[in-house]
Structure 1
């Protein structure tokens, strides 16, 4: 646990490895460096014999993760490098699912877009009652391709489709009703609830968890990596479309987008 990162903190506490996205001033937004570091941190935690479970969280109390850093999604200088970088989120999901240990998302604050996917890719999602969730990509001319699989794994598919088509945000209470949250607690009880799960996972068989958890995901969704590869390819195509360019420009300029059909 001695490895250090630029944007991620990794520490073991009471039998759990806590992996923290540490960009609070950017609401813990994701970029290629963050995703690579998250993947490395999960690898280290998964290989640690003293780690009973892995907790993913965000620094501060404003956001778990507000999604991808849109300021870094402009016109790329190297199309291949950008395409490979976008695949880092799919790779991270794969690492979470293959970790062989329980994973918990500890959510406090905004949990949007790619951050929504990161949370729902975890086995359990424990959220404070002041948290907000959503997949707003459609509002900037995109589609939440890479997080589609975690979303449809975590709630009825039509509910996931509704969130993706409308870009609406929902509070934690509604998230629990839809079914994508495991627990909703007051903010001052968030760490207590996570600690209770950590204690539970420390008391059960690691071998049973490793095999049973793998079996669960094979039943829930066969060949997830193939599905993520399809979504990754579609995202690459989407980013070449005029509406995507307009949506990202409008976001950067803090104005309403003018979609192609409206011009």
Structure 2
């Protein structure tokens, strides 16, 4: 039997510009980070919130991905969610509702910068990335799935809810259901992955896609029973380690040319669109309704539009001036000043 070919130990150790850390050196609150045997494992650790991510989660994920990138012992990054209920369900809607919908919508633009950095750190890491889909994959969770090279999904059981059989695990977009736009990767990547027709079905109708259907459509590479997920992902990871690291890096760059081109040419517009949308009436009804578990009557919005409501300027154009305090740019439908409560002169408007 022939002897394995091995690279010799360097006679001279080159100075290290980058110094990867031991995972214990990080003080992460919302993710778990582990490294060993050539594999980095990043786990979104918010199971009580179905592994949705807030701003701090994105910052921690970026740190972990950056560390794995500069660690030459690492050849694979595995991304998963804590527990068995959810891989990731996207952005924390309660954070959106509190700080942007009911706070400052302009903060969404800065928030999206952190979101983009986290995805860029994963996509440009130069290693093979594997999504271990341990539970439901919803909204921005599917965008993490799409940012990974490979996806292995745990199969679902079917249970009865309100007289209908539904899967316990699935992939689902929710943007147009919660007053948002899935422009953080889903609108960019889904047409490439599943084709334009299916991408429109996924994004415009928000139907859950069971694991086996997800595999048929190309959203995942393999579906296995839940108790075999970790072993299957580890097998893929160890197979990935039996490749040349330079070849992996260069091949990924070639494969990602078109996705990166689309991502880079659309994210500026996506950030701006999402920021403007966050201050709108649809985001308010969608996200506040979701966070308060109140169903939304979507038809009431169409009826209001048919009756003359302007969804972009709900209270009319900004044309009033307060005769008392002098504030300008008050909406047409205001009868009183929002600053000093003085009666506005509306008769001649």
TM-score by length of structure 2 reads 0.72
Q: 1:93 aligns with which of 119, 126, 139?
A: 119
In structure 2, distance between residues paired with 1:158 and 1:39: 33
1:158 Cα deviation from its structure 2 partner: 2.1
Determine helix, strand or coil for the equivalent of 2:209. strand
- Structure 2 residue ranges without an equivalent (≥5): 1-22, 157-168, 305-349
Give the counterpart of 2:138 among 112, 130, 133.
Answer: 112
User: What is residue 180 of structure 2 aligned with on the other side?
Assistant: 142
Give the whole-Å Cα distance in 2 for the aligned partners of 1:109 and 1:225: 29
The question of 1:81 aligning with 2:122 is answered no
Larger RCO, structures 1/2 (Cα 8 Å, 6+ apart): 1
Matched residues, number? 263
Tell me the distance in 2 between the aligned counterparts of 1:153 and 1:46.
26
Compute the RMSD of aligned alpha carbons: 1.6
Other-structure match for 2:196: 157
Query: Are residues 1:6 and 2:22 paired?
Result: no
Residue 87 of structure 2: aligned partner: 64
Contact kept, 8 Å, 1:127 with 1:184, in 2: the verdict is yes
Rounded Cα–Cα distance in structure 2 between residues aligned with 1:152 and 1:93:
18
The residue that corresponds to 1:175 in the other structure is: 214
Q: TM-score, normalised by structure 1?
A: 0.94
Given that 1:31 and 1:68 are in contact with CA atoms closer than 8 Å, whether structure 2 keeps it comes out as yes
Higher helix share: 1
Q: Within 1, Cα distance between the matches of 2:44 and 2:296?
A: 30
Q: Structure 1 residue 185 and structure 2 residue 224: aligned?
A: yes
Does the CA contact (< 8 Å) of 1:105 and 1:126 recur in 2? yes
Structure showing greater Rg: 2
Poorly superposed stretches of 4+, deviation over 3 Å: 76-82
Give the superposition deviation at 1:240.
Answer: 2.1
Question: How many Å apart are 1:136 and its aligned residue?
Answer: 1.2
User: How far apart are 1:34 and its partner, in Å?
Assistant: 0.6
